């Protein structure tokens, strides 16, 4: 670390003094522990590890919300040094890759919305992983002609896509960064070298995972000599990750996508005794990776302007469709946790997820109908909601502009992700959701970080009844996602809400709940996030286990719903602008999901 970089992170000493305090505090707050092994396929991308008590945080001008206290501190340190929201997002993400490796990291991909305070322009950055050049539509079809079992595909080299996170961070920094690139790596490097405390959540997910020990590098890092997960509070060091970050800090993204690191990733995906598990990622795939800057999708709801991520994400489209479908209903009168609110929002979910399965995929390969966001079409879908009974399963609609007949995608597999929401004193805002797909990705560790298994976000089947599936595997294609970084604007064109969540295909429902909570039910961000999770992905109506919504199971069944009560593990972060009685913006307030370890820090 050079002297300038170290000075920009002079709080590292303060970090280390407080590491064990943070770990012990989180352990005491943990209300419940995981009680079951990961399912196959997973019903949730990451297991529940209990609840952590959270409180609303108010601040004046700049703040960070993310999934781990150490990552939040790293991002906030950049804001304190005069950095931009993008600078803070980069520092936050690099620490998350160290302290929350099960969810995201430089071996994965990300989507980000960046609002420029000076120009009031919004940019959408697509850092999604891509399929290798050798990939074919039958990639996940076994020798028996049937789709592979999820973990047979996921825990293998063939599931690894070309990572996009490093390129995305560099692209954002080039246009929006204020601090030197190498300075943003200092917090993560310091923690990796000096050690960070294993958190309760990290301990639990390592302990439960059935595949992590199979990779020698992962086994040596995550477990002690007895093969046991490191205990909560153990000071875990990752010198390999520090070395990797030093190379990228000194030489930019080229150090990741070319040379020694690229060779190491290519060799890792091929390093399987079982030929069926060997991947085909190449140095050319890595060298040719490009971030795509896309136009965000924007829509209105209750006279507010909302913007989210376009395809290959399906999350933004789903949220737009669900809000349009329910806008005619008096949600504010019904209130949170009411049967009418749950019924209507679940039915809207069925409609949106039906369209998602039929039409959404990488727009550079598939003609995604623009009519999916046609106001008339979206509102017409809402007329299919019957207050008296559930439609049980919705059929996809026929939006204006449909040109090709396609088959619906039945792929239900989910992704492990993390979300970051940041605002700075310059009026900039970042909403970024990052992922390595399934928990711990492909369970393949390279130079201190885990590789993604993102290609299992493609459909396992490439056609149904002779019709092609939009989200089938193709060389160079980006798999469909549900990540939905979202920004809501006030009447003056300034960010009013900055939010998003991990949670795989349930992300759209998590973000929807939180938006409705703040807009319709006038809840603060923490109260909106705390609401029980619920919704439908065009299957059963899902209610979060151990919450007040369990009481709605029988009444919903009386309306024809098939109800599933289970852990519904979101990881929401939300920042919301505060206004005085005269409507003048006076600051911010923020909330973090009690289902994970995140916090909000602001000033």
Share of the chain above pLDDT 90, in %: 86
With a cut of 50, say whether residue 473 has pLDDT above it: yes
**CA distance to 121, 164, 251, 297, 454, per residue, from 308 (Å):** 13, 19, 32, 5, 21
Query: Residue 53 above 90 pLDDT?
Result: no
CB-based burial of residue 78 (10 Å sphere; 0-12 exposed, 13-18 middle, 19+ buried)? buried
pLDDT for the residue 404: 65
Rounded-to-integer distance, Cα 168 and Cα 126, Å? 7
Residue 376's closest CA among 344, 407, 401? 401
| Beta strand spans in 69-198 (E) | 109-115, 122-127, 196-197
Task: Summarize pLDDT for 383-421 with one digit per residue, the tens.
Answer: 999 999 999 999 999 999 887 666 677 655 455 689 999
Q: What is the percent of the chain with per-residue pLDDT over 70, rounded to a whole number?
A: 90
Q: Can 417 be counted among the known catalytic residues?
A: yes
Question: DSSP string covering 31-72, please?
Answer: -----SPPPSS-SSSS----------EEESS-EEEESSHHHH
Sheet holding 541-544, edge to edge: 534-536, 541-544, 563-566
**Average pLDDT taken over every residue of the chain:** 91
pLDDT classification of 466: cutoffs 50, 70, 90: confident
Q: How many other β-carbons are positioned within 10 Å of the β-carbon of residue 475?
A: 16
pLDDT digits (tens, 9 = 90+) for 479-519: 999 999 999 999 999 999 999 999 999 999 999 999 999 99
Domain ranges within the chain, ordered by starting residue? 3-291+417-459+582-597
pLDDT score at 565: 97
pLDDT of residue 405: 61
**Among residues 417, 433, 482, 541, which one is catalytic?**
417
Residues 535/570, Cβ–Cβ less than 8 Å: no
Q: What is the pLDDT of residue 402?
A: 85
pLDDT recorded at residue 410: 62
Q: What is the pLDDT of residue 47?
A: 63
Predicted confidence at residue 46, as pLDDT, reads 63
| pLDDT at residue 45, rounded to an integer | 54
Taking only the tens place, the pLDDT of each residue in 105-145 is: 999 999 999 999 999 999 999 999 999 999 999 999 998 99
> Does residue 51 carry a pLDDT above 90?
no
pLDDT surpasses 60 at 525: yes
Helix (H) or strand (E) holding 256: helix 254-257
Low-confidence winner among 8-22, 72-86, 140-154, 519-533 (lowest mean pLDDT): 8-22
Say what the pTM is: 0.92
Nearest to 90 by CA among 102, 483, 103, 104: 104
How many whole angstroms separate alpha carbon 577 and alpha carbon 72? 19
Given pLDDT bands bounded at 50, 70 and 90, which one contains residue 16?
A: very low
**Per the structure block, which two tokens stand in for 16?**
């280390």
Q: What is the pLDDT of residue 103?
A: 95
- Residue-wise burial string across 155-186, b where 16 or more C-beta atoms lie within 10 A, e elsewhere: bbbbbbbbbbbbbbbbbbbeebbbbbbbbbbb
Torsions phi, psi for 595 (to 5 deg): -80, -10
Helix segments in 54-127, DSSP class H: 69-80, 85-99
Exposed/middle/buried for residue 453 (C-beta within 10 Å: 0-12, 13-18, 19+): buried
The confidence score (pLDDT) of residue 411 equals 59
């Amino acid at each position: 670390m050079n002297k300038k970089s170290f000075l920009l992170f002079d709080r590292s000493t303060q970090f280390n003094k407080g590491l064990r305090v943070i770990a012990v505090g989180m352990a005491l707050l943990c209300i419940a522990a995981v009680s079951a092994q990961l399912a196959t396929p997973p019903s949730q991308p990451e297991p529940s590890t209990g609840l952590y008590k959270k409180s609303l945080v108010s601040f004046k001008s700049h703040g960070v919300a993310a999934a781990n206290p150490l990552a939040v501190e790293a991002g906030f340190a950049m804001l304190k040094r005069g950095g931009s929201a993008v600078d803070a997002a980069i520092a936050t993400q690099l620490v998350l890759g160290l302290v929350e490796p099960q969810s995201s990291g430089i071996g994965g991909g990300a989507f980000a919305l960046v609002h420029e305070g000076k120009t009031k322009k919004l940019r959408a950055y697509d850092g999604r992983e891509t399929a290798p050049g050798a990939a074919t539509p039958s990639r996940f079809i076994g020798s028996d002609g049937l789709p592979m079992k999820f973990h047979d595909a996921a825990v293998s080299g063939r599931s690894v896509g070309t990572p996009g996170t490093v390129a995305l961070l560099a692209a954002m920094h080039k246009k929006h960064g204020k601090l030197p690139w190498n300075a943003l790596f200092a917090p993560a490097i310091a923690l990796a070298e000096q050690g960070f405390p294993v958190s309760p959540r990290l301990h639990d997910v390592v302990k439960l995972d059935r595949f992590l020990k199979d990779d020698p590098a992962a086994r040596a890092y995550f477990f002690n000599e007895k093969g046991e997960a490191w205990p909560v509070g153990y000071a875990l060091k990752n010198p390999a990750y520090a070395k990797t970050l030093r190379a990228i800090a000194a030489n930019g993204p080229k150090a990741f996508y070319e040379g020694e690191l690229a060779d190491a990733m290519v060799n890792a995906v091929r390093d399987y005794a079982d030929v069926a598990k060997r991947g085909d990622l190449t140095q050319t795939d890595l060298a040719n990776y490009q971030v795509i800057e896309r136009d965000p999708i924007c829509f209105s709801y209750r006279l507010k302007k909302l913007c989210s991520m376009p395809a290959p994400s399906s999350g933004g489209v789903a949220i737009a469709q669900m809000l349009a479908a329910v806008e005619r209903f008096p949600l504010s009168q019904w209130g949170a946790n009411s049967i009418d609110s749950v019924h209507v929002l679940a039915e809207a979910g069925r409609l949106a997820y039906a369209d998602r399965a039929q039409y959404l995929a990488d727009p550079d390969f598939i003609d995604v109908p623009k009519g999916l966001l046609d106001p008339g079409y979206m509102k017409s879908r809402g007329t299919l909601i019957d207050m008296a009974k559930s439609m049980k399963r919705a059929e996809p609609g026929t939006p204006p502009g449909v040109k090709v007949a396609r088959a619906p995608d039945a792929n239900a597999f989910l992704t492990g992700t993390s979300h970051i929401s940041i605002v700075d004193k310059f009026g900039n805002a970042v909403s970024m959701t990052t992922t390595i797909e399934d928990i711990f990705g492909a369970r393949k560790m390279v130079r201190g970080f885990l590789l993604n298994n993102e290609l299992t976000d493609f459909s396992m089947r490439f056609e149904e009844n002779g019709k092609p599936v939009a989200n089938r595997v193709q060389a160079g294609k980006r798999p469909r996602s549900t990540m939905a970084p979202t920004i809501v604007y006030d009447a003056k064109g300034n960010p009013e809400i900055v939010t998003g969540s991990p949670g795989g295909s349930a992300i759209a429902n998590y973000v929807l709940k939180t938006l409705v909570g703040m807009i319709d039910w006038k809840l603060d961000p923490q109260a909106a996030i705390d609401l029980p999770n619920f919704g439908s992905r065009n299957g059963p109506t899902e209610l979060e286990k151990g919450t007040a919504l369990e009481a709605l199971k029988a009444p919903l069944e009386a309306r024809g719903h098939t109800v599933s009560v289970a852990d519904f593990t979101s990881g929401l972060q939300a920042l919301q602008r505060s206004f005085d009685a005269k409507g003048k913006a006076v600051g911010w307030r923020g909330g973090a999901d009690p289902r994970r370890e995140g916090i909000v820090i602001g000033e």
